[in-house]
Copies of this chain bind each other. A is one copy, B any other.
Amino acid sequence: MPDHAIRGIIGYTITPFDDDGRLDLPALDLTIDRMIDAGVHAIAPLGSTGEGAYLTEDEWTAVAERSVRTINGRVPVVVSVSDLTTAGAVRRAKAAESFGADAVMVLPTSYWKLQEEEIVAHYQAVGKAVGVPVMLYNNHAVSGIDMSVDLILRIVEAVDNVTMVKESTGDIQRMHQIHLRTDGQIPFYNGSNPLALEAFAAGATGWCTAAANLIAGHNIQLYEAACEGRLLDARASFYRQLPLLDFILKGGLPKTIKAGLDIAGVPVGAPRLPVQPLADPARAKLTEILTALH
């Protein structure tokens, strides 16, 4: 695998709101600093966890700019620039690059199902618009579009700066295929939290996770054990954090991570409706899981 700046634990930021539902940028700074202080290897603002899809264009821009400025080169930053329209994704990608992002992440979301050539053209438009690397992001559970390994490799071939693949389908066989068919030359990143152990076993370069807001130390421990080939340690670390990983997957990331931060003494407000805050019984369960991990 080629040397690559982005590897290890890539922490997703949430987007904090105040009581009136407006952006709370100082709280955003706080959550970024927490993750960097805990040792994450990179930060990814405005992904699924960051409620990027629920923000107005002005809000999106403000969060992107502030995130890059706050991170300030301490770790690489990958800004999610996904938009329903190609024009919107291009505009966001250019903005992210102008703020100083090290890479951009693109998930082809669509209301109407897209044909393969439409998806390729979407990546070509974004790739051509920026000079930084593009991380292709596959996650049909949120986007409604499932890119096959064939299509992913076709895009990687067609667009020079699509150099990283983030796979969030939770299907380990796709990672196998990416590895086998590229002789391990295309780094892939895992975005399915309960697959973290197996993705590293299969050779993933990194793990993009919102869990790093809550248990970055555990995430890093698993990564390091995997890097060093210590399987038994990696397994033990993984099973320790699995109850949390399962919980945040089933509960939905924005609502569970925001609740977890609040439990940890970092109030970041509620998700945007129709997504509601974590209900009390689930919050009690989350507290219990987090306590067991500290």
Seen from chain A, the residues whose Cβ lies within 8 Å of a Cβ on chain B are 21, 48, 51, 53-54, 84-87, 108-115, 117-119, 121-122, 125, 141-142, 144, 170, 172-173, 176, 179-180, 194-195, 197-198, 201-203, 226, 229-235, 239, 242-243, 252-254, 271-276
Q: Which residues of B contact A110 (CB under 8 A)?
A: 274-275
Further contacts, 14 of them, CB under 8 A, given A51-B111, A142-B144? A54-B84, A54-B85, A110-B275, A112-B254, A114-B274, A121-B273, A121-B276, A170-B173, A197-B201, A198-B198, A198-B201, A198-B202, A201-B234, A231-B234
Q: Which residues of B contact A118 (CB under 8 A)?
A: 273-276
Q: How far is the CA of A112 from the CA of B251 in the complex (A)?
A: 10
Given A118-B276, A239-B179, the answer on whether A53 and B84 have CB atoms closer than 8 Å is yes
User: Are B201 and A235 closer than 8 Å at their CB atoms?
Assistant: yes
Q: How far is the CA of A142 from the CA of B112 in the complex (A)?
A: 6
User: Are A112 and B276 closer than 8 Å at their CB atoms?
Assistant: no
User: Are B274 and A121 closer than 8 Å at their CB atoms?
Assistant: yes
Q: Which residues of B contact A271 (CB under 8 A)?
A: 112
Q: Which residues of B contact A54 (CB under 8 A)?
A: 84-85, 111
Q: How far is the CA of A116 from the CA of B197 in the complex (A)?
A: 32
User: Are B85 and A272 closer than 8 Å at their CB atoms?
Assistant: yes
Please, which residue of chain B has its CB at the minimum distance from the CB of A56? B57
Please, which residue of chain B has its CB at the minimum distance from the CB of A249? B173
What 3 pairs between A and B have smallest CB-CB spacing?
A198-B198, A86-B273, A231-B231
- For residue A232, give the distance in angstroms from its CB to the closest CB of chain B: 4
Please, which residue of chain B has its CB at the minimum distance from the CB of A255? B112
User: Are B274 and A180 closer than 8 Å at their CB atoms?
Assistant: no
- For residue A12, give the distance in angstroms from its CB to the closest CB of chain B: 13
